[in-house]
Amino acid sequence: MVNQVEPKLIKPLYDELQKERFVTLATVDYETGGPNISAISWVLAKDESTIYFAVDNRSRILANLGENNQVVINLIANESTYAIQGLAQVKEERLKDVPLKLALIEVSITAVRDVMFYGSKIVSDVQYDKTYDKNAAQKLDKQVMEAMRKA
């Protein structure tokens, strides 16, 4: 059975990307030309065709995007696993109203694929815990998500 390909986010995925959440991001490594995977959590669906994410200005992700702007965001949601393909560009070199030097990246979605293997479903969400000052983490997360919403 072939998984369906959508040109934009379906509503359950859009809804899941309205809050901070764990995703993985695949880029093309600028040195090796091979795949590079990063885990990120500051991600937001601006609309059904656009995703924003924020990363540190020193991130290898930015160097990779400078050479090849193709990305895949892997999202586990809606009882499945999705590969969200798109073209990324730096929207803001420095995200406003955030104490860290973060770049805002805009991804124009080209395809959304359900890539879960046949005959199965996800039965629990990915969970993670911040290992540094919880109050500081919560404050920073709120600042970053609000700044992305304003962009």
Q: Is the pLDDT of residue 24 over 70?
A: yes
CA-CA-CA-CA torsion for 57, 63, 69, 70, nearest 10 degrees? Answer: -100
Task: Please name the residue that has the structure tokens 């540190």.
Answer: 56
**Interval 90-144: pLDDT, tens:** 999 999 999 999 999 999 999 999 999 999 999 998 899 989 899 999 999 999 9
Q: Is the pLDDT of residue 42 over 90?
A: yes
Higher pLDDT, 23 or 1: 23
Tokens describing residue 73? 């965001």
For the chain, what percentages of helix, strand and coil (3-state, to nearest 5) are there?
A: 20, 40, 40
Residue 24's DSSP bridge partners are 39, 74
Q: Is the pLDDT of residue 48 over 70?
A: yes
CB-based contacts of 71, cutoff 8 Å, min separation 6: 25, 26, 27, 65, 85, 86, 87, 88, 107
| Contact indicator for 60, 102 with CB cutoff of 8 Å | no
Residue 90: predicted pLDDT: 98
Task: Please name the residue that has the structure tokens 């798109």.
Answer: 86
Q: How many CB atoms lie within 10 A of CB 85?
A: 16
Q: How confident is the model at residue 1 (pLDDT cuts 50, 70, 90)?
A: very low
Residue 125's DSSP bridge partners are none
| Contact indicator for 75, 17 with CB cutoff of 8 Å | yes
Q: Is the pLDDT of residue 79 over 80?
A: yes
CB-based contacts of 45, cutoff 8 Å, min separation 6: 9, 13, 14, 17, 18, 51, 52
Q: What average pLDDT does this structure show over 37-59? A: 97
Proportion of the chain above pLDDT 70, given as a percent:
98
Residue 2: predicted pLDDT: 55
Residue 132: predicted pLDDT: 86
Residue 43: predicted pLDDT: 98
**Amino acid code (one letter) for 117:** F
Q: What average pLDDT does this structure show over 69-76? A: 98
